[in-house]
Amino acid sequence: MSDGLVVCVVDINEKALARLHEVGDHADGRLEWRRASVIDRSEMQAVMDDLAARHGSLDVLVNNAGLTRAGSFLTQTDEDWNLVIDTNLKGAFVCSQVAARHMKSVGGGAIVNIGSVSAHGIRSGPPAYAAAKAGLEGLTRNAAIDLGRDGIRVNLLVLGTIESEWLVERKTEEELRGIRSSTLMGRLGTPEDVASVVSFLVSEDARHVTGQLFSVSGGQWLP
């Protein structure tokens, strides 16, 4: 919002959306939220059509919806595989396709996908999550190639471990120390670290940057 954009948060988690009310009170009308599923094309079409109609254009999309389910290569179920792939990969495709059609109509825009070091074998974890994030990298490059002539730039952030409430609640202090030591910086990433790179990529300063992977991992992954 500090970039002068109106930001709309889309989530299926109503409790998470409810927490935005407090933030919204201090956002001067530049923060909105909708309950919708990123894998439901009709819902995302309705959300983006409404945003474009009310604000004149849809200029930026950040695909950061995601989830994972526990399991190893030998234990992950088909049900969990489908859910993780749908949310992390199909959701980004659906949202990007809907958004890109709006962006093309006004001469361009910027899409940023949120990936993970899990796509590069940096750590063990559920195979569906690693596969989805690896697929997202391929989708990013494909979209950048197809959409470049329409003035639409598409890039991806390869995130390392980000210090979130979800992470802190589920990790012991010993586990957190181990994660910190796995980075070259000796620290966890923060949401602000991610937001600052997103802010650059959607700005005019990055007008000649597309189809790229940016490591925001404290050196957990070195491209």
Q: Can 200 be counted among the known catalytic residues?
A: no
CA neighbor of 157 nearest in space, from 139, 137, 175 = 137
Q: What share of the chain is helix, strand, coil (3-state, %, to 5)?
A: 50, 15, 35
Among 33, 129, 214, 221, the one annotated catalytic? 129
Q: Rounded to 5 degrees, what are φ and ψ at 134?
A: -65, -40
If one counts every other C-beta atom within 10 angstroms of the C-beta of residue 219, the result is 12
Separation of alpha carbons 3 and 208, rounded Å:
19
What residue has token string 């690896």?
Answer: 134
8 A C-beta contact, residue 114 and residue 91: no
Separation of alpha carbons 86 and 136, rounded Å:
11
Burial class of residue 218, CB neighbours in 10 A (0-12, 13-18, 19+) = buried
The residues that are catalytic are 129
